Amino acid sequence: MLGYYGTTANSARKAYLNYVNAGIGQGRQDELTGGGLVRSVGGWSEVKRLRQAASKSEGKESILLLGCQGVGHAD
């Protein structure tokens, strides 16, 4: 990776350190936090929305299954 920043190990380390320090000055950026999977679904708010939707869906399925158990339709 250091080869991207310089032709010698010493110059690459210095260039990389400058790059990191410049990034620190930019502060926290939401689009760069949370891991790749979280970013790929649109951030934490979208993950929360998907979890809530799944939870509601699971609740409906279990209600339907409970309703069917006495009728011989569910295992």
pTM of the full structure = 0.41
pLDDT of residue 61: 60
For residue 26, give Cα distances in angstroms to 18, 19, 21, 31, 75.
Answer: 13, 11, 9, 13, 57
- Tell me the domain boundaries of the chain: 1-30, 34-75
Residue identified by tokens 């990191």 is 20
- Is the CA virtual torsion 8, 10, 15, 19 positive or negative? positive
Q: Which has the higher per-residue pLDDT, 2 or 59?
A: 2
pLDDT of residue 25: 85
